[in-house]
Structure 1
Amino acid sequence: MKVVKVRGETVVAVCDEEILGKKFVDQARGLKLEINEKFYRGVLMDVKSSLSLIREASIANLAGSRIVGEALNAGLIHSRAVIRVEGVPHAQIVKM
């Protein structure tokens, strides 16, 4: 998980460890999901701690079955807000 403060906003990027550094492409829909290490690499932490930081964030980017699934279970995102690219779920949270 990576946490960055930008202009008074807290941005978090969370992905499942095993997809860090990988790219997923859906040519038919014109989608590419790149789990860029520069963007996502930060501190390895447990799901409970990650969810706590996601709750406090202004913007959150989530990628991977575990973290997206846990965010769904916690009510942080709606299932219709999740896209899948090569089966990998991705969701964003933006609080206004």
Structure 2
Amino acid sequence: MYLKIYENGEYFLVAACDSEVLGKTLKNGRSSVEIDRNFYEGKKVSEPELQEALGEATTANLFGEKTIQCAIKCGLVDQGSVIMIDGVPHAQIFRV
């Protein structure tokens, strides 16, 4: 899994995805979503490292089976809030 962290004052954005989907463009009808290397490709991390980063995140943008399952295991994503885009699971986390 890849993890990239963006910090802006007190805000902490986590962008994470499975290595298999990095760089892909997913299509959903007439829309498409690019899992852009510039945005997601940071450090290659283990599940515990991703869980630690997600625990600190105020916002997270997640793609891929392993990444989503990690977020579900640590209680930050509910399975019912995961959407599929071109066969790839996607979820976002917002803490207010």
**Conserved? CA contact 2:50–2:70, under 8 Å:** no
Distance 1:33 1:76 in 2: 23
Report the identity percentage.
34
Higher share of residues assigned strand: 2
Q: Give the counterpart letter for 1:93 in structure 2.
A: I
**How far 1:31 moved relative to its partner?**
4.3
Q: TM-score, normalised by structure 1?
A: 0.90
> Which residue of structure 2 lines up, in the alignment, with residue 54 of structure 1?
54
Which piece of structure 1 moves more, 81-90 or 30-39? 30-39
Distance 2:61 2:26 in 1: 16
Q: Give the counterpart letter for 1:86 in structure 2.
A: D
Q: Give the counterpart letter for 1:13 in structure 2.
A: A
Q: Structure 1: 5+ residue runs without aligned partners? A: none
Q: How many residues align?
A: 94
2:6 aligned counterpart, secondary structure: strand
Pairing partner for 1:10 from 12, 16, 23: 12
Distance 1:85 1:31 in 2: 10
Q: TM-score, normalised by structure 2?
A: 0.90
- Superposed, 1:1-96 pairs within 5 Å as 1-27=3-29, 30-96=30-96
Q: Give the counterpart letter for 2:22 in structure 1.
A: L
Aligned Cα root-mean-square deviation (Å): 1.2
Q: Structure 2: 5+ residue runs without aligned partners? A: none
Distance 1:31 1:73 in 2: 30
**Conserved? CA contact 1:31–1:85, under 8 Å:** no
